Amino acid sequence: MAMHSEIALPRKVRLVEVGPRDGLQNEKAIVPTDVKVALIDKLADAGFAAVEATSFVSPKWVPQLADAADVMARITRTPGVAYPVLVPNMKGFEGALAARVDEIAMFVAATESFSQRNTNCSIAESLERAAPVFAAARANGMRVRGYVSCVLGCPYEGDVAPATVRDIAARLVELGAYEVSLGDTIGTGTAGKTRLLIDTVAQAVPVAMLAGHFHDTYGQALTNLYASLEAGVATFDCSVSGLGGCPYARGATGNVASEDVVYLLDGLGIDCGIDMTTLRIAGQYISSALSREPASRVARALNAKSAAAQ
Ligand code: HMG
Ligand code: MG
């Protein structure tokens, strides 16, 4: 454990880059497949242990990711890097299997309203749909990551009880998830609530199997991530340049920016294996492809510094 003040923090953190999926899924204008592929390859080069590449969901629901099979066929698969994809049902699993995917992510909401809006079914139905997918993944040697959405608030129902999240996370582990990522889909969480959530979920799922997935809508993502580090969480999802949101959570902005997370962890002396320069260049690449400035404050500061030095 690295010491910071009197609090012991994890020495190493594993970062899952979700920009190509969670980030791009929220873009209205269709991003060319070539750009997605180049972005994924650049992120793998930056040192991420996992780059969530796309989703095998209904193209009617998320048109941006309709090219999932093409993306998977064209990326360079760097040894040691996982390229998980989102899968909601057996149809998605079959697509992922045909695309030689090595890891899938199953997502379940913590509230009934969000479950209906996001996947057109109840929480119980989505867990029922998940069971055969877990079994098929196991039979095909694929790892399964679980996600719980709306863990710190729902756009339709407001507050969410930590015990509800705990029970869904525990069910995902029972089904075979090697890890459960706790998603603050709309970014309304704050540090105290985050700590209470992690401590509550850890009653049923070991903290080593938990990941934090914080959207930054209210500017709290990095603080919530720090509160999770203090609670012993050592895996976090982040999105290059702070891309993204969820199309079924209106107004939700991107995940915590990868550049901001790496800067924080570097400052704390926590190893996350990412090369900031390669990451920053990947961020510049996608930001210019989308014709916008990166949402990451760290990326903007480093880009300005690098421009001034030239
Ligand atoms: P449905 O309309 O109820 O599905 O959607 P259905 O089974 O009735 O099928 C309807 C049509 O979709 C059929 O086609 C199916 O073949 C097709 P048709 O006969 O009409 O031509 N279909 C599919 N096509 C491709 N791939 C599939 C698939 N499944 C059915 N897998 C469904 C139900 C779950 C499919 C839909 O609601 C869906 O795709 N939802 C995904 C929504 C989504 O991707 N949301 C964003 C990701 S979650 C998120 O961002 C949160 C997270 O980041 C964590 C956090 O922040 O908290 C993970
Ligand atoms: Mg998300």
Atom of ligand 1 nearest to the CA of 148: 57
pLDDT per residue over 202-254, tens digit each?
999 999 999 999 999 999 999 999 999 999 999 999 999 999 866 677 777 89
How far is residue 54's CA from residue 15's CA, in Å, rounded to a whole number? 17
Query: Which residue's CA is the nearest one to ligand 1's atom 24?
Result: 58
pLDDT of residue 278: 98
189 lines ligand 1 (CB under 6 A): no
Residue 1 in this model has a pLDDT that exceeds 70: no
Model confidence at 4, in pLDDT bands (50, 70, 90)? Answer: low
Q: 150-161 pLDDT, tens per residue?
A: 999 999 999 999
- The DSSP annotation for 47-103 comes to T-SEE--EE-S-TTT-GGGTTHHHHHHHS---TT-B--EE--SHHHHHHHHHTT-SE
Whether residue 62 has its Cβ less than 6 Å from ligand 1: yes
Does ligand 1 have an atom closer than 6 angstroms to the CB of 255? no
Structure confidence at residue 253 (pLDDT):
86
- Relative to the alpha carbon of 86, which ligand is closest? 1
Q: Of 168, 294, 169, 303, which Cα lies nearest the Cα of 233? A: 169
pTM over cut 0.85:
yes
pLDDT surpasses 60 at 5 = no
Q: pLDDT band for 30, please (50, 70, 90 cuts).
A: very high
- Does the beta carbon of 114 sit less than 6 angstroms from any atom of ligand 1? no
| Helix, strand or coil, per DSSP, at residue 241 | helix
Cα of 255 to ligand 2 centre, how many Å?
6
Ligand 1 atom with least separation from CA of 118:
42
Pocket test for ligand 1, best of 57, 104, 214 (most atoms within 8 A of CB): 57
Residue 88 Cα, ligand 1 centroid: separation in angstroms?
6
Please give the mean pLDDT across all residues of the chain: 95
**Phi-psi label, residue 234: left if phi above 0, alpha if psi -120 to 50, beta otherwise:** alpha
Specify whether 272 is catalytic: no
Hey, what amino acid is at 259? E
pLDDT > 70 fraction of the chain, expressed in percent and rounded: 97
| Confidence (pLDDT) at 246 | 65
Nearest-ligand number for the alpha carbon of 185:
1
**What is the model's pLDDT at position 283?**
97
Stretch 93-113: mean pLDDT, rounded? 98
Which stretch of 27-31, 181-185, 250-254, 262-266 has the lowest confidence by average pLDDT? 250-254
**Torsion sign, CA atoms 31, 32, 36, 41:** negative
**What's residue 2's pLDDT?**
55
| CA pair distance 260, 22, nearest whole angstrom | 17
Rounded to the nearest angstrom, the distance between the alpha carbon of 248 and the centre of ligand 1 is 12
Whether residue 142 contacts residue 101, with contact meaning beta carbons closer than 8 Å, is answered with: yes
Which of 41-45, 133-137, 148-152, 248-252 is the least confident region? 248-252
Distance 9 CA to ligand 1 centre (A): 38
Asked which of 4-18, 21-35, 55-69, 144-158 is least confident by mean pLDDT, the reply is 4-18
- Residue 30 CA to its chain's centroid (Å): 21
Is the per-residue pLDDT at 146 higher than 80?
yes
3-class secondary structure, 40: helix
Please tell me the residue having the least CA distance from ligand 1 atom 40: 119
Q: How far apart are CA 72 and CA 70, in angstroms?
A: 5
Mean pLDDT of 43-68: 98
Strand, helix or coil for residue 185? coil
Q: Tokens 């899968």 sit at which residue?
A: 87
Residue 3 confidence (pLDDT) above 90: no
| Annotated catalytic residue, options 150, 154, 238, 246 | 246
Spatial contact of 47 and 270, defined as CB atoms under 8 Å apart: no
Pocket lining: 147 vs ligand 1, CB cutoff 6 Å: yes
Average pLDDT estimate for 121-147: 98
**b/e code 243-273 from CB counts within 10 Å (16+ = b):** bbbbbbbeebbbbbbbbbbbbbbeebebebe
Ligand 2 center from residue 3 Cα (angstroms): 30
